[in-house]
Amino acid sequence: MRSAAELSIVTGSARTLSLPTHAIRRGTSPIDFSIVPRAVRWEIARALTYALQSGRSGVGLAAPMTGLGIRAVVSTAASAPIVMFNPRIVATSGPILSAMEANLSLPGLTANVPRNLSTTVRWQLADSGEEVTATFEGTQARVLAHEIEILDGVLFVDHAASAPTDAWMTDDERAQRAFAAVAGGDPSARHQSETLSLATIPPSMLALNGVLTRPSDDVDLDTMDGGHLRALVREMFRVMYRARGVGLAAPQVGLGLRLAVIDSGIAPPSVLINPEVIDRDGDSETEAEGCLSLPGVRGAVTRDTRIKVRTKTLTGDSVEVEFAGYQARIAQHEIDHLDGMLYPNRMERSDKLASTDAGDIADSLTQEMKRQESRYTTASRSGSAGTKGAQSRNKRRRR
């Protein structure tokens, strides 16, 4: 029987996490594979993954972030999740690119951090103890570099390209700032208020008529009170932030209007009013999606990777906006809501909804990590990691 206790993420301010006595600053000890048995190693992997899934939209986690002083990291930044024991970066290459980073142990803090496009890591596989080396690129390379340096007591803010932005804000404050970004004006200015709440529905009821399952009406900008519309947009941001979402459509708060808000955290907040997709680039990808109105489940959905949307602004102007990657997926998800379609309607019939319970996800991801380890083992024997931009070598077994 699994223990009811789970690992959790320790958090604090930048000032607190700068103390040399903090768990994140103390450094770590290698895991001795001759002492720590295979079953315990996989339990560590599962526990770290659970803590990661319990956090706020994280894609990577180092053991010290849970208070453990061991050299272990997990990442779900790529399509294949990975766990690394005793990892170390052996090389970096490619151009140096700056991008915003954050950490689950420093909620509200972001910083622009320069990193190489490619990172080569050597680590031990959890199952066999075999040592392998692989090169990672792009987002996965950044995430692994971010997490592995924590094992040595280094945080991303220590080498940020500019002063970190400390945004310890309430959901109301975040909503006010997002509204100011899309509407212009002073974030501290007072406006009309609204009180909205989230509408949810079980997957078994998606065929029933309701606000979530029928097309919405256009927002009539000629007749609708501008102050009321602005209050709705601001309140939708607040509901979205409170629910830890990245997008929210008006039907999700009971309004049959073609209105949605988006804030992925990787681009400025945006509002869509009477949006229409006018162009798609033809490329698509399949990724797991969830929905605030369908809590507890997620499913694989194929979406276009780049779209162009014609939408209205809060002032009634018509503009065309391009969305790419994650932003494109969110925009398509929200526009689907305005057409009365939820993401399960876009899933392949053979696919099933999966639980989003942190424990269930951790179990599932741990099993996938085990399958991925067999690929690295096979690759190390053939001289290739079996994935684009990766190489494995330097086999060594430790049990």
- Annotated catalytic sites, by residue? 334
Tokens standing for residue 398: 């430790």
Cβ atoms of residues 287 and 303 within 8 Å: yes
The half-sphere exposure of 49 on its side-chain side, counting CA atoms within 13 A, is: 28
**Taking Cα atoms as reference points, which of 51, 105, 93 lies closest to residue 76?**
51
Alpha carbon distance 258, 338 (integer Å): 5
- 3-class DSSP state for residue 141? helix
How far is C-alpha 11 from the geometric centre of its chain's CA atoms? 18
Tokens standing for residue 178: 């997002």
Tokens standing for residue 364: 């599932």
Q: Which residues of 129-167 are buried (b: 16+ CB within 10 A; e: fewer)?
A: bbbbbbbbbebbbbbbbbbbbbbebebbbeebeeebeee
**Taking Cα atoms as reference points, which of 196, 258, 275, 268 lies closest to residue 232?**
196
Amino acid at 137: E
**Taking Cα atoms as reference points, which of 7, 160, 18, 117 lies closest to residue 72?**
7
Cβ atoms of residues 102 and 161 within 8 Å: no
